[in-house]
Amino acid sequence: MASDRIVVVGHAAVTCLGTDLDRTWQRLVAGESGLARHPERLDPGQYLQDIAGLVEGVGPGTDREDPTIARLGSRFVHFGLLAARQAWAEAGLDRVRDELPSDRVAVVVGSGLGGMDLYHAESRRAAGRKTLATGPYLVPGLIANQAAGQVAQQLGLHGPSLSPANACATGGHAIAHAALLLRAGEADLAVCGASESAFTPEIVNGFVTMKALMGRKPGDRAETDPGQASRPFSADRAGFLMAEGAGILILATETAARRLGLRPIAGLLGWATNSDGFHVAQPNPDRVRRCLELAIAHAGLHPEQIDYYNAHGTSTTVNDRVETEAVKAVFGEKAKDLPVSSIKGAVGHALGAAPAIEAAVCVRALREQVIPPTINHRPDPALDLDFVPGQARSARLDRVLSASFGFGGTNNALVFGRWTDA
């Protein structure tokens, strides 16, 4: 089993750019932003920021509400299930149901914060009641493993089910742990990734107060164009902008994919996770560097064999500086020629779901041989890498590295490869 390659047979994303990966990718490579001002949902009287990357038309109370989970009011559950169904359909797994034992399919779908939106709404409703009782679906809709649980339930899967909660590295950890289950022989396929929606005044205002999320800044260029609010690696970066969404990959062992007649679209060549053991919120440059090195080594590669680095790139002052330093330390002289981009200028920061969305984008980049741009970028002399500013770029892509770092010092890196039968 250890030599059995791991392949991607399905990939999907739900983002503020589109409710499927095709639409997201189309707008992403066109250099568009999905960030907008939403005072109707993010009341400026309660929120310190009303610019966000919201998913339109999906979730509780919308025209596209999923009837199978209508009573579960958390948006992250709806996003995760929608993305999982899309990836499942792309892989063509319904046609091989009879050949695919349901207990050989793992589900590893995490969430950084779970159903905080439902918790906030129910708390406000409860405050106006004369009884202490809450809605019966509060706990089922709140717990962070409910996206994984509903993917398993609605797709009829009975293999291992896990739900990582590793802050902004969650989706990457989910993909890495799914790969470990396949390598260990615990499953033949895995539905993996993460989903997130955490727009409450407490969460948004907490991020602004700690100066991680960009608050309102009079005179800022985002004041007239909210699409410019998130600007990774830019000289005037001022904090991340929150978003919601989901990213899902379906992984399989090469043996299982061939047996079932599934078409691989990329390979998962390597991965790594580690801990900073350093600070509650700030990344540690040495540990970030080490995580990248471990992932490249696990893939059996040398740094010069990486063709594109998909950055965590949050648009915060500290992260973008530390990440730039880590890339230079890992890639040495090659760093100045390595394309590096962050899609968070376009889709915002979907917290735990961000790494999974970015993983799906990396797989699509390998398929299309196109690097998505870093939009809203203004050069910073201290950050002197090739950030693919402004416009997407055609390139020969054989291997890409994607990394994510979360509060608490939890890091993740994934290496994907263009699929060949060789």
Report yes or no: 417 and 267 within 8 Å, Cβ to Cβ.
yes
Q: Give the helix/strand (H/E) hosting 252.
A: strand 245-253
Catalytic residue at 168? yes
> What does each C-alpha distance from 56 to 15, 52, 60, 310 come to in angstroms?
9, 12, 11, 26
Q: Which of 11, 38, 78, 312 is catalytic?
A: 312
Catalytic residue at 377? no
**Distance, CA of 390 to CA of 411 (rounded, Å):** 27
Report yes or no: 345 and 32 within 8 Å, Cβ to Cβ.
no
Cβ neighbours of residue 297 closer than 8 Å, sequence gap 6 or more: 270
Cα within 13 Å of Cα(327), Cβ side: 32
Q: E strands of 166-321, at which residues?
A: 189-196, 245-253, 266-275, 308-310
Catalytic residue at 349? yes
Cα angle at 85 between 95 and 135, to 5 degrees? 135
Q: Which of 78, 349, 362, 377 is catalytic?
A: 349
Tokens of 73: 């009011």
Cα angle at 190 between 184 and 195, to 5 degrees? 125
**Distance, CA of 321 to CA of 251 (rounded, Å):** 33
**Distance, CA of 153 to CA of 248 (rounded, Å):** 16
DSSP state of 227: G
DSSP state of 53: B
The residues facing 383 across adjacent strands are: 380
Report yes or no: 326 and 338 within 8 Å, Cβ to Cβ.
no
Sign of CA dihedral 208, 211, 213, 218: positive
Report yes or no: 358 and 343 within 8 Å, Cβ to Cβ.
yes
DSSP state of 129: -
Tell me the residue type at 44: P
Other C-beta atoms closer than 10 Å to the C-beta of 305 total 16
Q: Which of 16, 168, 192, 362 is catalytic?
A: 168
Rounded to 10 degrees, the C-alpha dihedral 157/159/160/163 comes to -10
Catalogue the active-site residues: 168, 312, 349
